[in-house]
Amino acid sequence: MITLSGPDGAPVSVPESLADDQPYFSPSQLAAAAAYCRDEGYAVVRGLVSPESCRAVLAAFESEMRKTTTPMLRQRDMRYELNRYDEHGRLDNPLFNLQDLETRRFGGFKKAVLDILTQREVTRIAGACLGMAPEAGQVKVIQSMYFDAPAGTWAHQDSYYQDSAAGLGGAAAAWIALEDIHASAGRFYVYAKSHLDRQVLLNRGELNVATGHDTYRQAVREHARKRGFECRIPYLGQGDVLFWNSLTIHGSLGAQPGSAASRRSLTCHFLRDEDEMLQFHSRIRRQHYVVHNETRVGVLHRQDLLRTRMMREFAYRFPNAWARTRVTAIRALALLRRRSESPAVSPVVADRAMPG
């Protein structure tokens, strides 16, 4: 174990290796992992993804993505940018929605990623974490991301950005380690049992995403401190997958000074196949879908379409205009939400969404 500064500045113990951490679950322990996820808000399944599948993603990134001059949508600010690398050669602006990538040019990388995200064992556990029996249906993928450099993500609930329209807490996510993640590389953290708190920080009022995003970030930290949730930072080796609920407060630590370690990983968000996405606690965001390995995958800006590639070029060449358009749309949503006589969703977690 080593001691690092946690998300609230207080010291936290971080396991340096698997020997320092609890074993959590093996791929054969689906029921136990799902029960733990429903109770604790997260679960780690060791070795769920094969080393070969992890290496296929990394090799395809090197061959197709590293030297490309194509602008791509980024997780950090939802802008189209060229790849940007830090002094250690790590991709510094994470990729967003890998399923949108142009098949003709990036098909190998996209396929390798989707092979993991739609792997039957991954989707079965995601569904089980949402209370679904393996034979009762399946989940769909609604978002994906690729990380390389440490991200230093603030504490948040995914529900603030997207959740299930059927009830808050009705979505799940997975963080997939494509390599052994060093303790200095910005480890993923969760606040255990924070998903059970009935006081959901809703995307409205002074916490709305359009004008109160910084206030929301401060409110989450203060909320976790007051509630006394335990911050846990599991060890994640290659092929390990951490699942969590959309109401679980989580994030990632920043890189430790002087560290050159990468944290190559995938993130994926799931809904039940029959559910719609609720965006910003304000509106139902219907998606178009492609199918990979019999699993539906939501697409946002599908680059195989000429009109979408034209939009991409505009967004890249005129980033300020693109950003203003996006912010204006978000503010319009917030205004419509304030004028609504009744909330789009209940602030109380739906029973169906939180079984057990």
CA 3 to chain centre: 26
For the chain, state the CA radius of gyration: 19
The verdict on residue 345 lying in a domain is no
Asked whether the CA dihedral 334, 296, 292, 169 is positive or negative, the reply is positive
The verdict on residue 349 lying in a domain is no
pLDDT computed for residue 336 by the predictor: 61
Answer whether 231's CB lies under 8 Å from 310's CB: no
pLDDT tens, residue by residue, 15-41: 999 999 999 999 999 999 999 999 999
- Of 286, 287, 279, the C-alpha closest to 334 is 279
The verdict on residue 302 lying in a domain is yes
The verdict on residue 250 lying in a domain is no
- Of 39, 36, 12, 38, the C-alpha closest to 23 is 36
Answer whether 109's CB lies under 8 Å from 64's CB: yes
Q: What is the DSSP letter of 155?
A: P
Which residue segment(s) compose the domain that 49 sits in? Answer: 2-245+255-339
Residues contacting 59, CB < 8 A, separation 6+: 112
The verdict on residue 17 lying in a domain is yes
The verdict on residue 353 lying in a domain is no
User: Measured between alpha carbons, how far apart are the two ends of the chain, in Å?
Assistant: 33
Across the chain, the runs of DSSP E, i.e. the strands, are 2-5, 11-14, 42-45, 72-73, 80-81, 95-96, 139-147, 162-164, 171-177, 188-191, 231-232, 241-245, 250-252, 265-272, 277-279, 283-285, 288-292, 295-299
For residue 291, with 0-12 CB atoms within 10 Å meaning exposed, 13-18 middle and 19 or more buried, which class applies? Answer: exposed
The verdict on residue 352 lying in a domain is no
CATH number of domain containing 75: 2.60.120.620
pLDDT tens, residue by residue, 207-242: 988 788 999 999 999 999 999 999 999 999 999 999
pLDDT computed for residue 342 by the predictor: 44
The pTM for the full model equals: 0.90
The verdict on residue 356 lying in a domain is no
Phi, psi of 183 (to 5 degrees): -60, -25
pLDDT computed for residue 282 by the predictor: 86
Domain count, the chain: 1
Answer whether 245's CB lies under 8 Å from 164's CB: no
pLDDT computed for residue 292 by the predictor: 96
Q: What is the DSSP letter of 207?
A: G
**Which portions of the chain are predicted below pLDDT 70?**
134-137, 326-327, 329-356
